Amino acid sequence: MEGLRDAAGALLGRRPTGARPLHGGDLSEVTLLTFQAGPPVVAKTGPMVDREGRMLQAIRAAGAPAPEVLGVRDGLLLLEFIEHRAPTAAARSALGIGLRQLHGTTGGSYGWPENYAFGPVAIESALIDDWPAFWAERRLLAGIGTLPADLARRLEAVAPRLPDLLPARPEPALLHGDLWSGNVILSGDRAWFIDPACSYGHGDVDLAMLALFGHIDPVTADAYGPLEPGWADRRAAYQLWPALVHLRLFGQGYRRMVEDRLTRLGA
């Protein structure tokens, strides 16, 4: 890890004295750097970390909680280290407040200025003004050629129905974009968003992802505030995309999740 220490030292003006891997390196390498004096720093390396850094800065600019970006250069992203402490109910409330703050920042269209990727799964995000079209073309149908033929046919049946399932032009809210529990740090009384895949879109997308592997904590839900009418009817359409991503990344163990959302959508 000498090269990593040298690169981090050049960015920070102080060379790390220690380095150890951190959990969370499915799509990039994550390392905790320690120093003779001062707080540790999280280092992420990978081809997309510069874009991740800009997303984290956008989240912070919205007034929502995310680690501070300390430096970025040549596939290296340095971040503020968040110490993990036992979370309180206040942390779960802070998550809801922070998410509402994030969604209160809006753009003019749906998408993001840069494309992104979850490892080999490309995320095309060119801006578009039609929300159902964005969700069909940039999300559900993207990469359809990599799917089994039966699932592809069912997806193609769902896509034309999205204008009837989704609002035509919801407020283009700033989205985290990959908001499952592993991408949230709850520590003490506070919450932070990490590992984003930002875009502008319907705020329900983040809420659906947060509920994908369980349920939204009632304290978080209360702090976020009232949901838009029809939220439950849209949930399957918004959960279908992360289910497809998991299928493409991690294999057939996620096929049932995809099939379940397709069935809920009548396909």
Cβ-proximal residues to 5 (8 Å cutoff; 6+ apart), any chain: 15, 16, 19, 33
Of the candidates 178, 195, 206, 217, the residue annotated as catalytic is 178
Q: Is 204 a catalytic residue?
A: no
Give a three-class secondary structure readout of 92-131: HHHHHHHHHHHHCCECCCEECCCCEEECCEEECCCCECCH
- Measured between its terminal Cα atoms, the distance across the chain in Å is 50
Q: Which residues are catalytic?
A: 178
